[in-house]
Amino acid sequence: MQIGFIGLGNMGGPMAANLVAAGHTVKGFDVAGTSTAGVSVAASAAEDATGVDVLITMLPNGSILRSVADQVIPAMSKGAVLLDCSTVDVESARAVADQCTAAGVLALDAPVSGGIGGASGGTLTFMVGGEEAGFNKALPLFEIMGQKAVHCGASGNGQAAKICNNMILGVTMIATCESFALADKLGLDRQKMFDVVSTSSGYSWSMNAYCPAPGVGPTSPADNDYKPGFAADLMLKDLRLAQQAASGADADTPMGALAQALYEQFVENEDGAGRDFSAMLPRFEQRSRS
């Protein structure tokens, strides 16, 4: 396929490189001037979108996505796919999809799970909203860039799946960190705690695959001084998107709201900025009940 890629940062760069390695022709554009080996450089977003079968975007937020969409959709061929892999608000994803429909372009919102390691290793999971025709056209690319792609339904549903998943993740990580800090104060060895919980009803991805306690369970960012695999700043972004969506849908999400408030405190007023989201554990270790 002829592929355009906009946003060649920590996630987009490795994703584009994997497409090149699989034999696809990829041209790219990034406002920061970032480049990726094997990806030809376009002079603008509109040029990047011209003549491609699929245009992939990996952008920071919904307002930037809307701005880029205004530039690229008029340049795209009818029947081409605009495949947005950013994590943005549901409203922006659906607004861009409406623009695409009016222009005869197929829109997919396909946020990812798996982080920088998944982008580099081609093991991402894609949560995809949009028309089935677009999903089928992009499926060979999902299979190169990731290990799983789930078609979640209509436009915006990929973003909905991502923020619901990450709301669960934020809440369960806080509970996991609180529990380890409580275990410490009760004199329970962390390894014993892990041995029990990881095979009992407290089992979760946060405990079993991404344990926030250094030296316990599989290797995780906790074993690397909490250098981010998934930054607390990004968790805060996703929790805010979840609460924005909950407000629009009139959904009662008290645990999600509390998780957002705790990550806001951690990132904005404590030492959480630039640290992994599991660094909540040393935060709770240092705090008392009052």
Active site residues: 162
Q: How many CA atoms lie within 13 A of 99 on its CB side?
A: 20
Tokens of 192: 């014993």
Cβ–Cβ under 8 Å, residues 178 and 258: no
The C-alpha atoms of residue 226 and residue 278 are separated, in whole angstroms, by 7
SS3 23: coil
Nearest to 104 by CA among 69, 76, 133, 62: 76
User: Between helices 190-197 and 157-185, what is the axis angle to 10°?
Assistant: 130
Tokens of 246: 């909950």
Region of 101 (left: φ > 0; alpha: ψ -120 to 50; beta: rest) is alpha
- Supply angle C-alpha 7, 10, 13, rounded to 5: 55
